[in-house]
Structure 1
Amino acid sequence: MSVLPLVFTSGWASGINAYAVVLLLGIFGATGLTDEVPESLQRTDVLIAAGVLFLCEAVADKIPYVDSVWDTAHTVIRPIAGAVVAALLAGESGSLPELAAGAVGGSTALMSHLVKAGTRMAVNTSPEPFSNVALSVTEDLGVAGIITFAMFNPVAAAVIAGVLLVLGLVTVVLLASRIRRFLRRRAQRREEKRLAAGGRPSG
């Protein structure tokens, strides 16, 4: 059976929470739920590191503005994680070239990461913190649910991930004005901090 649906789904999920993907796949492999997870993801040190980083993300992801800083730092990390996980899955199954799998997983992770980061920027224009918490919890549950579902029905899970990715991209386009507002506010705050530190006005 082709591993492509699982590669695509894991890529989408990695763009949202790469540490949760590594942790879940590792646990599923270690417990014998699936034989498609490579041993490198089942190692104890990998599981511990993924667990600790997942907890860090679980906290940072729910704090307004901190979540956007975290997303910025993970613009490279999440796509790389998606590509690596995809390549490992392909190498384990032997049904898809690792380079092709890495390209699919990495590009899908990048797109879903941009959706997540853009949505958070839009949400951060709102003064209340509850929407951040609600969105973060929804994302965590979504990643856990779709990765678990992918273990039993990878094709259906990939279809769901594809639909969610398209809907996310459309949502970001619709929220473009709020995203620009967030970026202006962030630039203004940086300028204010620079001036407070004794710098000269820019421009």
Structure 2
Amino acid sequence: MGIMEIIGIAGSVSLLSGWRLYLCVFATGLAMRFDALPVPEHLASLAVLENPWVMGIALVGALAEFFADKVMWLDSIWDTVHTLVRPVGGALLALAIVDPSDPAMQVIAFLLGGGASFLAHGGKASARAVVNTSPEPVSNVAVSGLEDIATVGLLWLAYEYPVVAAGIALVLLAIAIALLLIARRIIRRVFFRVREPDT
């Protein structure tokens, strides 16, 4: 596996961790346990994800996130609590993917993985804050369900086809940046409308 593919997988998994960290950990561990995900020798450190304790904790977290993410405003509270957890988790996953014999690459992966995960988390949290301004609960459930499906699908694609993993990471990065910019614009518009004095 070439350096570009490894960086692509690390970037994709880090970005997806900014959306659904627990689901990324559980799905990867489950796929490894049932040999659906053949792990190359240099990714042997990921074997910790198929540990029953790690999988159990990740499953509890994934289920809690699945339900919390469907409830208006509870999803934003959940995102706020995970502002530190997701970037650290994404950085550690990226660290586990790169070659452990190359310390410089590990530092780069840790920093970029954490940054990518934080950016994806920020985009998700901002977008959900905007969705929460809608009075009906259907949009929350729809957006959350789409995130669940996209996370599982993109995670599978990143591991199964490492050649396109770099492209996936770039697309996710562009989506996260776009969500941040759109959310910022909408929030500023709503904020200034609220502050306008009554005439």
Report if the CA contact (8 A) 1:34-1:151 is conserved: no
> Aligned letter for 2:61?
L
The 3 A distance-change label for structure 1 pair 82 and 146 is same
Whole-angstrom CA distance in 2 between matches of 1:52 and 1:8: 25
Aligned to 1:97, the other structure's residue is in SS state helix
Match of 2:111 among 71, 79, 103: 103
1:163 counterpart = 2:167: no
Aligned to 1:125, the other structure's residue is in SS state coil
Q: Which residue of 1 aligns with 2:143?
A: 135
1:46 counterpart = 2:50: no
Q: Which residue of 1 aligns with 2:197?
A: none
Shift of 1:175: 2.9
Match of 2:13 among 10, 23, 34: 10
Match of 1:146 among 154, 165, 173: 154
1:34 counterpart = 2:38: yes
1:89 counterpart = 2:97: yes
* TM-score (normalised: structure 2): 0.84
Q: Deviations over 1:79-114 (max 9, x none)?
A: 000011111122469698322211121111000000
Higher relative contact order (CA 8 A, sep 6+): 2
Q: Which residue of 2 aligns with 1:20?
A: 23
RMSD of aligned Cα (Å): 2.2
The 3 A distance-change label for structure 1 pair 91 and 29 is farther
Name structure 2 gaps, 5 residues minimum. Answer: 193-199
The 3 A distance-change label for structure 1 pair 110 and 131 is same
The 3 A distance-change label for structure 1 pair 93 and 112 is farther
Whole-angstrom CA distance in 2 between matches of 1:63 and 1:4: 35
Say how many residue pairs are matched. Answer: 184
Whole-angstrom CA distance in 1 between matches of 2:103 and 2:34: 23
Bigger shift: residues 9-18 or 28-37:
28-37
Q: Deviations over 1:61-81 (max 9, x none)?
A: 010000000000000000000
The 3 A distance-change label for structure 1 pair 75 and 23 is same
